[in-house]
Chains A and B, each alone.
Chain A
Protein backbone atom coordinates (compact mmCIF):
# COMPACT_ATOMS: atom_id res chain seq x y z
CA UNK A 1 0.00 0.00 0.00
CA UNK A 2 1.12 3.56 -0.53
CA UNK A 3 2.41 5.59 2.39
CA UNK A 4 -0.15 8.35 2.19
CA UNK A 5 -1.23 8.48 5.75
CA UNK A 6 1.88 7.45 7.66
CA UNK A 7 3.14 9.32 10.72
CA UNK A 8 4.72 12.73 10.19
CA UNK A 9 8.47 12.44 9.88
CA UNK A 10 8.42 9.10 8.12
CA UNK A 11 9.85 9.21 4.59
CA UNK A 12 6.44 8.61 3.10
CA UNK A 13 4.84 11.73 4.55
CA UNK A 14 7.66 13.89 3.21
CA UNK A 15 6.94 12.67 -0.32
CA UNK A 16 3.35 13.49 0.28
CA UNK A 17 4.15 17.12 1.18
CA UNK A 18 6.08 17.49 -2.04
CA UNK A 19 2.91 16.81 -3.94
CA UNK A 20 0.61 18.92 -1.79
CA UNK A 21 2.68 22.10 -1.37
CA UNK A 22 2.61 23.15 -5.05
CA UNK A 23 -1.11 22.54 -5.13
CA UNK A 24 -1.77 24.98 -2.32
CA UNK A 25 0.62 27.51 -3.78
CA UNK A 26 -1.19 27.08 -7.08
CA UNK A 27 -4.40 28.07 -5.37
CA UNK A 28 -2.86 31.03 -3.58
CA UNK A 29 -0.98 32.11 -6.70
CA UNK A 30 -4.12 32.29 -8.77
CA UNK A 31 -5.86 34.35 -6.09
CA UNK A 32 -2.81 36.57 -5.87
CA UNK A 33 -2.72 37.22 -9.57
CA UNK A 34 -6.39 38.03 -9.77
CA UNK A 35 -6.29 40.44 -6.87
CA UNK A 36 -3.19 42.38 -7.84
CA UNK A 37 -2.99 44.15 -11.15
CA UNK A 38 0.29 44.82 -12.91
CA UNK A 39 1.15 48.48 -13.33
CA UNK A 40 4.94 48.44 -13.86
CA UNK A 41 6.32 49.47 -17.24
CA UNK A 42 9.62 48.13 -18.49
CA UNK A 43 12.28 49.09 -20.98
CA UNK A 44 13.11 46.17 -23.29
CA UNK A 45 16.37 45.65 -21.41
CA UNK A 46 14.74 45.65 -17.96
CA UNK A 47 11.98 43.44 -19.28
CA UNK A 48 14.44 40.81 -20.49
CA UNK A 49 16.23 40.82 -17.13
CA UNK A 50 12.94 40.49 -15.24
CA UNK A 51 11.74 37.73 -17.58
CA UNK A 52 14.94 35.78 -17.09
CA UNK A 53 14.35 36.08 -13.34
CA UNK A 54 10.92 34.53 -13.98
CA UNK A 55 9.17 37.54 -12.57
CA UNK A 56 5.45 36.92 -12.98
CA UNK A 57 4.65 40.63 -13.28
CA UNK A 58 7.09 40.85 -16.17
CA UNK A 59 5.32 37.99 -17.91
CA UNK A 60 1.99 39.66 -17.34
CA UNK A 61 3.42 42.83 -18.89
CA UNK A 62 4.86 40.82 -21.77
CA UNK A 63 1.47 39.32 -22.44
CA UNK A 64 -0.29 42.69 -22.35
CA UNK A 65 2.18 44.16 -24.82
CA UNK A 66 2.80 41.33 -27.24
CA UNK A 67 -0.10 38.88 -27.11
CA UNK A 68 -2.15 40.73 -29.74
CA UNK A 69 0.71 40.93 -32.20
CA UNK A 70 1.59 37.27 -31.71
CA UNK A 71 -2.05 36.23 -31.92
CA UNK A 72 -2.25 38.07 -35.23
CA UNK A 73 0.64 35.94 -36.53
CA UNK A 74 -0.81 32.70 -35.16
CA UNK A 75 -4.10 33.45 -36.88
CA UNK A 76 -2.27 33.95 -40.16
CA UNK A 77 -1.20 30.32 -39.92
CA UNK A 78 -4.16 28.76 -38.11
CA UNK A 79 -6.84 30.54 -40.07
CA UNK A 80 -9.95 28.53 -39.48
CA UNK A 81 -10.14 27.63 -35.79
CA UNK A 82 -10.26 30.41 -33.18
CA UNK A 83 -10.25 28.07 -30.23
CA UNK A 84 -7.19 26.24 -31.48
CA UNK A 85 -5.44 29.53 -32.24
CA UNK A 86 -5.99 30.75 -28.68
CA UNK A 87 -4.74 27.43 -27.30
CA UNK A 88 -1.62 27.89 -29.37
CA UNK A 89 -1.20 31.43 -28.04
CA UNK A 90 -1.33 30.11 -24.48
CA UNK A 91 1.17 27.39 -25.37
CA UNK A 92 3.44 30.00 -26.99
CA UNK A 93 3.54 32.10 -23.82
CA UNK A 94 4.21 29.06 -21.69
CA UNK A 95 7.04 28.15 -24.07
CA UNK A 96 8.41 31.67 -23.78
CA UNK A 97 8.34 31.28 -20.00
CA UNK A 98 10.10 27.93 -20.21
CA UNK A 99 12.74 28.87 -22.76
CA UNK A 100 13.47 32.46 -21.76
CA UNK A 101 16.98 31.48 -20.52
CA UNK A 102 17.89 30.35 -24.02
CA UNK A 103 16.96 33.73 -25.54
CA UNK A 104 20.17 35.31 -26.83
CA UNK A 105 19.94 39.06 -27.40
CA UNK A 106 22.85 39.05 -29.82
CA UNK A 107 20.82 36.92 -32.25
CA UNK A 108 17.78 39.13 -32.44
CA UNK A 109 15.15 41.23 -30.74
CA UNK A 110 12.87 39.70 -28.15
CA UNK A 111 9.91 40.08 -30.48
CA UNK A 112 11.70 38.25 -33.30
CA UNK A 113 12.44 35.37 -30.95
CA UNK A 114 8.82 35.21 -29.76
CA UNK A 115 7.54 35.51 -33.32
CA UNK A 116 9.53 32.45 -34.33
CA UNK A 117 8.23 30.50 -31.31
CA UNK A 118 4.68 31.45 -32.32
CA UNK A 119 5.23 30.49 -35.94
CA UNK A 120 6.80 27.13 -35.03
CA UNK A 121 4.08 26.29 -32.51
CA UNK A 122 1.36 27.16 -35.06
CA UNK A 123 2.92 25.03 -37.78
CA UNK A 124 3.47 22.14 -35.37
CA UNK A 125 -0.21 22.32 -34.44
CA UNK A 126 -1.27 22.36 -38.09
CA UNK A 127 0.85 19.31 -38.72
CA UNK A 128 -0.27 17.40 -35.64
CA UNK A 129 -2.30 14.30 -36.21
CA UNK A 130 -5.17 15.39 -33.99
CA UNK A 131 -5.52 18.60 -35.97
CA UNK A 132 -5.45 16.76 -39.28
CA UNK A 133 -8.22 14.48 -38.03
CA UNK A 134 -10.35 17.32 -36.71
CA UNK A 135 -9.80 19.01 -40.03
CA UNK A 136 -11.27 16.06 -41.91
CA UNK A 137 -14.28 16.01 -39.61
CA UNK A 138 -14.66 19.75 -39.96
CA UNK A 139 -14.58 19.61 -43.72
CA UNK A 140 -17.16 16.88 -43.68
CA UNK A 141 -19.39 18.92 -41.37
CA UNK A 142 -18.85 22.01 -43.49
CA UNK A 143 -19.83 20.16 -46.61
CA UNK A 144 -22.94 18.83 -44.97
CA UNK A 145 -24.18 22.03 -43.36
CA UNK A 146 -22.69 24.90 -45.29
CA UNK A 147 -22.35 23.52 -48.75
CA UNK A 148 -20.50 25.88 -51.05
CA UNK A 149 -20.34 28.79 -48.55
CA UNK A 150 -17.22 27.23 -47.05
CA UNK A 151 -14.97 28.54 -49.78
CA UNK A 152 -16.01 32.18 -49.39
CA UNK A 153 -15.67 32.28 -45.58
CA UNK A 154 -12.19 30.84 -45.77
CA UNK A 155 -11.10 33.46 -48.28
CA UNK A 156 -12.33 36.24 -46.02
CA UNK A 157 -10.42 34.96 -43.02
CA UNK A 158 -7.26 34.65 -45.08
CA UNK A 159 -7.59 38.15 -46.36
CA UNK A 160 -5.84 39.95 -43.49
CA UNK A 161 -2.34 41.03 -42.45
CA UNK A 162 0.66 39.34 -44.00
CA UNK A 163 -1.45 37.24 -46.31
CA UNK A 164 -3.00 40.31 -47.84
CA UNK A 165 0.45 41.66 -48.58
CA UNK A 166 1.36 38.27 -49.96
CA UNK A 167 -1.25 38.69 -52.67
CA UNK A 168 0.79 41.48 -54.17
CA UNK A 169 3.55 39.03 -55.00
CA UNK A 170 3.83 37.18 -58.30
CA UNK A 171 1.96 33.87 -58.03
CA UNK A 172 5.13 31.75 -58.46
CA UNK A 173 6.73 33.70 -55.58
CA UNK A 174 3.64 33.71 -53.44
CA UNK A 175 3.23 29.95 -53.40
CA UNK A 176 6.82 29.49 -52.25
CA UNK A 177 6.47 31.94 -49.34
CA UNK A 178 3.14 30.35 -48.49
CA UNK A 179 4.70 26.89 -48.31
CA UNK A 180 7.90 27.96 -46.57
CA UNK A 181 6.66 30.50 -44.05
CA UNK A 182 3.05 29.58 -43.40
CA UNK A 183 3.18 25.82 -43.87
CA UNK A 184 6.72 25.25 -42.60
CA UNK A 185 8.07 23.21 -45.50
CA UNK A 186 11.84 23.10 -45.90
CA UNK A 187 13.42 24.41 -49.10
CA UNK A 188 14.23 20.82 -50.08
CA UNK A 189 10.62 19.72 -49.63
CA UNK A 190 9.40 22.67 -51.68
CA UNK A 191 11.87 21.89 -54.48
CA UNK A 192 10.45 18.40 -54.64
CA UNK A 193 6.80 19.47 -54.33
CA UNK A 194 7.06 22.15 -57.01
CA UNK A 195 9.54 20.29 -59.20
CA UNK A 196 12.02 23.16 -59.35
CA UNK A 197 15.73 23.16 -58.46
CA UNK A 198 16.69 23.84 -54.85
CA UNK A 199 18.80 26.85 -55.87
CA UNK A 200 15.81 28.39 -57.63
CA UNK A 201 13.62 27.85 -54.57
CA UNK A 202 16.18 29.60 -52.41
CA UNK A 203 16.61 32.65 -54.68
CA UNK A 204 12.88 32.98 -55.37
CA UNK A 205 12.07 32.91 -51.67
CA UNK A 206 14.75 35.47 -50.89
CA UNK A 207 13.57 37.75 -53.68
CA UNK A 208 9.99 37.32 -52.55
CA UNK A 209 10.93 38.25 -48.99
CA UNK A 210 12.76 41.36 -50.21
CA UNK A 211 9.66 42.40 -52.14
CA UNK A 212 7.38 41.60 -49.23
CA UNK A 213 9.48 43.82 -47.05
CA UNK A 214 8.80 46.72 -49.42
CA UNK A 215 5.06 46.07 -49.13
CA UNK A 216 5.20 45.82 -45.34
CA UNK A 217 6.23 49.44 -44.97
Chain B
Protein backbone atom coordinates (compact mmCIF):
# COMPACT_ATOMS: atom_id res chain seq x y z
CA UNK B 1 0.00 0.00 0.00
CA UNK B 2 1.17 3.51 -0.73
CA UNK B 3 0.99 5.09 2.70
CA UNK B 4 1.61 8.62 1.44
CA UNK B 5 -1.29 8.35 -0.94
CA UNK B 6 -3.51 7.02 1.82
CA UNK B 7 -2.43 9.88 4.11
CA UNK B 8 -3.17 12.50 1.47
CA UNK B 9 -6.63 11.06 0.78
CA UNK B 10 -7.97 13.01 3.77
CA UNK B 11 -8.73 9.87 5.79
CA UNK B 12 -6.77 11.16 8.80
CA UNK B 13 -8.80 14.35 9.07
CA UNK B 14 -12.02 12.48 8.44
CA UNK B 15 -11.18 9.89 11.12
CA UNK B 16 -10.01 12.30 13.79
CA UNK B 17 -12.98 14.63 13.31
CA UNK B 18 -15.38 11.72 13.60
CA UNK B 19 -16.65 11.85 10.02
CA UNK B 20 -15.33 8.49 8.82
CA UNK B 21 -17.74 5.60 8.40
CA UNK B 22 -17.45 2.48 10.53
CA UNK B 23 -15.60 0.39 7.88
CA UNK B 24 -13.27 3.34 7.16
CA UNK B 25 -12.53 3.66 10.88
CA UNK B 26 -11.76 -0.03 11.25
CA UNK B 27 -9.47 0.01 8.21
CA UNK B 28 -7.72 3.15 9.44
CA UNK B 29 -7.13 1.76 12.93
CA UNK B 30 -5.74 -1.44 11.52
CA UNK B 31 -3.38 0.48 9.20
CA UNK B 32 -2.27 2.75 12.04
CA UNK B 33 -1.10 -0.30 13.93
CA UNK B 34 0.72 -1.45 10.80
CA UNK B 35 2.35 1.76 9.50
CA UNK B 36 4.17 3.98 12.03
CA UNK B 37 4.27 6.90 9.58
CA UNK B 38 0.48 6.84 9.37
CA UNK B 39 0.23 6.88 13.15
CA UNK B 40 2.69 9.79 13.31
CA UNK B 41 0.64 11.70 10.73
CA UNK B 42 -2.53 11.12 12.73
CA UNK B 43 -0.85 12.36 15.92
CA UNK B 44 0.41 15.45 14.11
CA UNK B 45 -3.10 16.37 12.97
CA UNK B 46 -4.51 15.70 16.44
CA UNK B 47 -1.96 18.10 17.92
CA UNK B 48 -2.77 20.77 15.35
CA UNK B 49 -6.45 20.38 16.09
CA UNK B 50 -5.91 20.63 19.82
CA UNK B 51 -3.75 23.69 19.31
CA UNK B 52 -6.39 25.29 17.14
CA UNK B 53 -9.12 24.52 19.67
CA UNK B 54 -7.13 26.00 22.53
CA UNK B 55 -6.32 29.08 20.42
CA UNK B 56 -10.05 29.56 19.90
CA UNK B 57 -11.09 28.58 23.40
CA UNK B 58 -14.05 30.33 25.01
CA UNK B 59 -14.26 30.54 28.81
CA UNK B 60 -17.51 28.96 30.00
CA UNK B 61 -19.65 30.44 32.81
CA UNK B 62 -18.10 29.89 36.27
CA UNK B 63 -20.87 27.73 37.67
CA UNK B 64 -20.36 24.85 35.26
CA UNK B 65 -17.25 23.48 36.96
CA UNK B 66 -18.87 23.49 40.39
CA UNK B 67 -21.94 21.73 39.04
CA UNK B 68 -19.79 19.16 37.27
CA UNK B 69 -17.69 18.42 40.36
CA UNK B 70 -20.79 18.15 42.48
CA UNK B 71 -22.33 15.74 40.03
CA UNK B 72 -19.32 13.44 39.98
CA UNK B 73 -18.76 13.80 43.73
CA UNK B 74 -22.28 12.57 44.16
CA UNK B 75 -21.90 9.68 41.76
CA UNK B 76 -18.50 8.51 42.93
CA UNK B 77 -19.59 8.51 46.55
CA UNK B 78 -22.53 6.38 45.50
CA UNK B 79 -20.16 3.98 43.72
CA UNK B 80 -17.96 3.36 46.71
CA UNK B 81 -20.24 4.32 49.56
CA UNK B 82 -18.90 1.68 51.93
CA UNK B 83 -15.16 1.59 51.16
CA UNK B 84 -14.49 5.30 51.47
CA UNK B 85 -14.13 6.83 54.89
CA UNK B 86 -15.66 10.28 54.77
CA UNK B 87 -13.13 13.07 55.28
CA UNK B 88 -13.84 15.41 58.14
CA UNK B 89 -13.27 19.01 57.22
CA UNK B 90 -13.55 21.47 60.08
CA UNK B 91 -15.98 24.24 59.21
CA UNK B 92 -14.63 27.68 59.98
CA UNK B 93 -16.99 30.12 61.50
CA UNK B 94 -18.00 32.81 59.06
CA UNK B 95 -16.24 31.14 56.16
CA UNK B 96 -16.99 33.17 53.06
CA UNK B 97 -17.21 30.11 50.87
CA UNK B 98 -19.86 28.55 53.01
CA UNK B 99 -22.05 31.59 52.59
CA UNK B 100 -21.70 31.77 48.86
CA UNK B 101 -24.78 31.35 46.75
CA UNK B 102 -23.59 27.98 45.62
CA UNK B 103 -23.37 26.51 49.08
CA UNK B 104 -26.86 27.63 49.77
CA UNK B 105 -27.99 26.33 46.48
CA UNK B 106 -26.35 22.93 47.05
CA UNK B 107 -27.75 22.75 50.59
CA UNK B 108 -31.22 23.55 49.31
CA UNK B 109 -30.77 21.19 46.39
CA UNK B 110 -29.66 18.44 48.77
CA UNK B 111 -32.74 18.88 50.91
CA UNK B 112 -34.90 18.76 47.82
CA UNK B 113 -33.00 15.69 46.65
CA UNK B 114 -33.45 14.07 50.06
CA UNK B 115 -37.18 14.68 49.92
CA UNK B 116 -37.20 13.45 46.35
CA UNK B 117 -35.39 10.27 47.29
CA UNK B 118 -37.67 9.74 50.25
CA UNK B 119 -40.69 10.16 48.05
CA UNK B 120 -39.31 7.83 45.37
CA UNK B 121 -38.34 5.22 47.92
CA UNK B 122 -41.82 5.44 49.43
CA UNK B 123 -43.36 5.06 45.99
CA UNK B 124 -41.02 2.22 45.24
CA UNK B 125 -41.84 0.28 48.38
CA UNK B 126 -45.55 0.85 48.19
CA UNK B 127 -45.61 -0.07 44.51
CA UNK B 128 -43.50 -3.13 45.29
CA UNK B 129 -46.06 -4.14 47.92
CA UNK B 130 -48.95 -3.55 45.55
CA UNK B 131 -47.18 -5.51 42.87
CA UNK B 132 -46.65 -8.48 45.18
CA UNK B 133 -50.28 -8.37 46.23
CA UNK B 134 -51.40 -8.30 42.62
CA UNK B 135 -49.09 -11.20 41.78
CA UNK B 136 -50.50 -13.39 44.54
CA UNK B 137 -54.09 -12.45 43.68
CA UNK B 138 -53.33 -13.28 40.09
CA UNK B 139 -51.89 -16.70 41.01
CA UNK B 140 -54.91 -17.39 43.20
CA UNK B 141 -57.36 -16.43 40.45
CA UNK B 142 -55.48 -18.49 37.92
CA UNK B 143 -55.61 -21.57 40.16
CA UNK B 144 -59.28 -20.95 40.75
CA UNK B 145 -59.93 -20.63 37.03
CA UNK B 146 -58.18 -23.95 36.38
CA UNK B 147 -60.28 -25.71 39.02
CA UNK B 148 -63.47 -24.12 37.70
CA UNK B 149 -62.57 -25.19 34.18
CA UNK B 150 -62.07 -28.82 35.16
CA UNK B 151 -65.31 -28.82 37.19
CA UNK B 152 -67.14 -27.30 34.23
CA UNK B 153 -65.75 -29.92 31.86
CA UNK B 154 -66.88 -32.66 34.20
CA UNK B 155 -70.34 -31.10 34.40
CA UNK B 156 -70.52 -31.03 30.61
CA UNK B 157 -69.60 -34.74 30.46
CA UNK B 158 -72.16 -35.47 33.17
CA UNK B 159 -74.79 -33.54 31.28
CA UNK B 160 -74.12 -35.53 28.10
CA UNK B 161 -74.38 -38.85 29.92
CA UNK B 162 -77.51 -37.86 31.79
CA UNK B 163 -79.34 -36.63 28.70
CA UNK B 164 -78.37 -39.64 26.55
CA UNK B 165 -81.56 -41.73 25.84
CA UNK B 166 -79.55 -44.97 25.98
CA UNK B 167 -78.46 -44.31 29.55
CA UNK B 168 -80.07 -46.23 32.34
CA UNK B 169 -80.21 -44.37 35.61
CA UNK B 170 -79.86 -46.49 38.73
CA UNK B 171 -80.65 -44.83 42.00
CA UNK B 172 -78.42 -46.23 44.71
CA UNK B 173 -79.99 -46.04 48.16
CA UNK B 174 -78.38 -46.43 51.57
CA UNK B 175 -78.38 -49.77 53.39
CA UNK B 176 -79.05 -50.29 57.11
CA UNK B 177 -75.31 -49.81 57.80
CA UNK B 178 -75.34 -46.42 56.08
CA UNK B 179 -78.90 -45.20 55.64
CA UNK B 180 -77.92 -41.78 54.33
CA UNK B 181 -75.49 -42.92 51.63
CA UNK B 182 -76.72 -42.31 48.14
CA UNK B 183 -75.36 -42.19 44.63
CA UNK B 184 -76.53 -42.47 41.05
CA UNK B 185 -75.26 -44.87 38.43
CA UNK B 186 -75.56 -43.88 34.79
CA UNK B 187 -75.14 -46.98 32.77
CA UNK B 188 -75.06 -46.81 29.04
CA UNK B 189 -76.05 -50.31 28.06
CA UNK B 190 -75.03 -49.87 24.40
CA UNK B 191 -71.49 -48.62 25.02
CA UNK B 192 -71.33 -50.43 28.41
CA UNK B 193 -69.93 -47.24 30.00
CA UNK B 194 -70.60 -46.84 33.69
CA UNK B 195 -70.63 -43.43 35.34
CA UNK B 196 -71.11 -42.76 39.01
CA UNK B 197 -72.30 -39.58 40.67
CA UNK B 198 -71.80 -39.43 44.40
CA UNK B 199 -74.73 -37.66 46.04
CA UNK B 200 -73.94 -38.32 49.64
CA UNK B 201 -71.20 -40.62 50.85
CA UNK B 202 -69.46 -40.09 54.20
CA UNK B 203 -65.76 -39.29 54.12
CA UNK B 204 -63.51 -42.28 54.70
CA UNK B 205 -60.22 -42.64 56.59
CA UNK B 206 -57.31 -42.32 54.18
CA UNK B 207 -56.52 -46.05 54.11
CA UNK B 208 -60.04 -46.90 52.88
CA UNK B 209 -61.92 -46.37 49.62
CA UNK B 210 -65.37 -47.07 48.26
CA UNK B 211 -65.64 -49.83 45.67
CA UNK B 212 -68.39 -50.22 43.09
CA UNK B 213 -69.62 -53.66 42.12
CA UNK B 214 -71.91 -54.90 39.39
CA UNK B 215 -73.98 -57.93 40.37
CA UNK B 216 -74.28 -60.29 37.43
CA UNK B 217 -76.27 -63.45 37.98
CA UNK B 218 -75.64 -63.19 41.71
CA UNK B 219 -71.86 -62.76 41.26
CA UNK B 220 -70.05 -59.48 41.99
CA UNK B 221 -67.86 -57.81 39.35
CA UNK B 222 -65.37 -55.11 40.33
CA UNK B 223 -66.12 -51.76 38.66
CA UNK B 224 -63.37 -49.74 40.36
CA UNK B 225 -62.73 -47.69 43.48
CA UNK B 226 -63.49 -44.05 44.27
CA UNK B 227 -63.22 -41.52 47.06
CA UNK B 228 -66.03 -39.50 48.51
CA UNK B 229 -64.19 -36.25 47.91
CA UNK B 230 -65.37 -35.78 44.32
CA UNK B 231 -68.80 -34.94 45.60
CA UNK B 232 -71.49 -34.50 42.94
CA UNK B 233 -69.04 -34.91 40.13
CA UNK B 234 -69.37 -37.64 37.60
CA UNK B 235 -66.82 -40.47 37.77
CA UNK B 236 -66.07 -42.86 34.96
CA UNK B 237 -66.00 -46.41 36.32
CA UNK B 238 -65.05 -49.70 34.65
CA UNK B 239 -67.33 -50.87 31.88
CA UNK B 240 -69.81 -53.71 32.16
CA UNK B 241 -72.08 -55.19 29.53
CA UNK B 242 -74.38 -56.89 31.98
CA UNK B 243 -75.66 -56.02 35.43
CA UNK B 244 -78.79 -56.72 37.42
CA UNK B 245 -77.77 -54.51 40.30
CA UNK B 246 -74.96 -52.27 41.57
CA UNK B 247 -73.52 -52.17 45.05
CA UNK B 248 -71.04 -49.99 46.90
CA UNK B 249 -68.85 -51.35 49.71
CA UNK B 250 -66.05 -49.96 51.83
CA UNK B 251 -62.74 -51.67 51.13
CA UNK B 252 -59.03 -51.17 51.78
CA UNK B 253 -57.44 -48.54 49.60
CA UNK B 254 -57.06 -49.86 46.06
CA UNK B 255 -60.02 -52.22 46.37
CA UNK B 256 -60.58 -55.93 47.11
CA UNK B 257 -61.09 -58.89 44.75
CA UNK B 258 -64.44 -59.68 46.37
CA UNK B 259 -66.82 -57.35 48.21
CA UNK B 260 -67.01 -57.14 52.01
CA UNK B 261 -70.77 -57.41 52.13
CA UNK B 262 -71.27 -56.48 55.77
CA UNK B 263 -69.88 -53.08 54.84
CA UNK B 264 -72.19 -52.61 51.90
CA UNK B 265 -73.13 -48.96 51.80
CA UNK B 266 -75.69 -48.76 49.11
CA UNK B 267 -77.46 -50.93 46.61
CA UNK B 268 -79.40 -50.24 43.46
CA UNK B 269 -81.39 -52.62 41.34
CA UNK B 270 -82.01 -52.06 37.68
CA UNK B 271 -85.70 -51.75 37.16
CA UNK B 272 -85.66 -51.29 33.43
CA UNK B 273 -86.05 -54.43 31.40
CA UNK B 274 -82.94 -55.16 29.37
Contacts and interface: CB of A to CB of B under 8 A. Distances in A.
A26 B18 contact: no
B29 A107 contact: yes
B61 A59 contact: no
Contacts of A115: 49-50, 53
B33 interface: yes
A104 B23 CA distance: 18
Interface string A170-203: 0000000000110000010000000000000000
B71 interface: yes
A52 to B, nearest CB: 13
Given A1-B126, A210-B10, A162 B56 contact: yes
B50 A31 contact: no
Interface stretch (A62-70, A129-137, A146-154): A62-70
B148 interface: no
B26 to A, nearest CB: 11
B81 A73 contact: no
Contacts of B84: 25
Q: Specify which of B42, B60, B113 lies most central, judged by the most chain A CB atoms within 10 Å of its CB.
A: B60
Interface string A43-79: 0000000000010100110011001111111010000
A141 interface: no
B102 A34 contact: yes
Contacts of B64: 67, 86, 89-90, 93
Contacts of B110: 23, 26-27, 30
Interface stretch (B72-80, B195-203, B238-246): B72-80
Interface residues of B, number: 71
A169 interface: no
B115 to A, nearest CB: 10
Interface in A1-56: 1-4, 12, 15-16, 18-36, 54, 56
Interface of A: 1-4, 12, 15-16, 18-36, 54, 56, 59-60, 63-64, 67-73, 75, 82, 85-86, 89-90, 93-94, 97, 106-109, 111-112, 115-116, 119-120, 160-162, 180-181, 187, 205-207, 209-210, 212-213, 216-217
Contacts of B49: 111-112, 115, 216
Contacts of B61: 82, 86
A112 B73 contact: no
Q: Is the interface of A mostly helix, strand, loop or mixed?
A: helix
6 contacts: A25-B86, A27-B110, A29-B77, A97-B71, A120-B18, A212-B13
A156 to B, nearest CB: 14
A217 B89 contact: no
A67 B57 CA distance: 8
Interface string B65-104: 1111111111111110100101101010000011010110
Contacts of B71: 90, 94, 97
Given A23-B114, A63-B68, A75-B58, A216 B52 contact: yes
A194 to B, nearest CB: 16
Q: Specify which of B43, B72, B122 lies most central, judged by the most chain A CB atoms within 10 Å of its CB.
A: B72
Q: Specify which of A24, A25, A89, A207 lies most central, judged by the most chain B CB atoms within 10 Å of its CB.
A: A25
A205 B19 contact: yes
A160 B106 CA distance: 35
B121 A2 contact: yes
Contacts of A28: 86-87, 89
A63 B65 contact: yes
